[in-house]
Amino acid sequence: MRGRSISVALMLATLSLTITPVQLFARPQMSPSNRDRLIARAEQVTGDRFTVATSTPRGVTVLAVSAPSKDVLAAIDRGFADLFAVAQRHGYRNRLNFNSYTVFIARADRTKDSAGQYSPDIAVPAGQYAGSSYDQGGFVYAAGMVLAFNPSAFVFAEHEHDFSRISNVVRYEGEHLILYYNDRPLYEKTADHSKGGGHPILN
């Protein structure tokens, strides 16, 4: 089926980045140079400028193209809360803190999928998905995409409604990061959806 969106986990195991978008979010291990590298990576992937820096009520760092609403920030927190709960059920302990994560909110390259359903997604090069059912002619639509492991960062598109979808995308992108730090064999097995499989990975 054409027009589907996927979760894209980029293989960036060798890329170690940290971020301090504003002093409010400064953490001891972060540096301005690493902040700039992560922002540059996000802007390279999406073609956007992330000029708004804020955080969710529970401490997730958020960089966005425009100011996210309280509903959006709350949806991000709900997604992480669900993720951490399922991770704990699996006995995972690493990266179960809201302030360990950075979320980028980019402009949507589409707002509806091929079936006409609301689906704010980001267009990214097809890469390993070339020739698959996700391939839209050299690119795929991604619901979200992992950008870096340290800090744990990913991007998804702006939503005007259906904020529960944000919570799902946060949980699903977060699964890749949780697995990277807690269950590397399962991470390696599930990071690339072009070989099959999808979300949720953890139940």
Q: Nearest-CA neighbor of 128 among 41, 174, 195, 197?
A: 195
pTM (two decimals): 0.82
Tens of pLDDT, residues 95-134: 999 999 999 999 999 999 888 999 999 987 766 665 666 6
Q: Is the pLDDT of residue 136 over 70?
A: no
Both tokens of 135, joined, read 């391939």
pLDDT band with cut points at 50, 70 and 90 for residue 47 = very high
pLDDT in the model for residue 12: 33
Mean pLDDT check: name the lowest of 25-34, 84-93, 113-122, 181-190.
25-34
Q: Is the pLDDT of residue 156 over 90?
A: yes
Both tokens of 84, joined, read 């951490």
Do 6 and 134 contact (CB within 8 A), yes or no? yes
Q: Is the pLDDT of residue 137 over 90?
A: no
**Whole-angstrom Cα distance, residue 140 to residue 113?**
12
**Whole-angstrom Cα distance, residue 151 to residue 59?**
14
* 3-30: average pLDDT: 37
- pLDDT: which is higher, 27 or 19: 27
Do 10 and 42 contact (CB within 8 A), yes or no? no
Q: 111 exposed, middle or buried (CB, 10 Å; 0-12, 13-18, 19+)?
A: middle
Do 27 and 61 contact (CB within 8 A), yes or no? no
pLDDT in the model for residue 138: 66
Q: What is the DSSP string of 73-125?
A: HHHHHHHHHHHHHHHHHTT--TT--GGGEEEEEEPPSEEE-TTS-EEEEEEEE
Identify any residues that bridge with 8 across adjacent strands, giving them in sequence order.
145
Q: Is the pLDDT of residue 142 over 50?
A: yes
DSSP state of 67: P
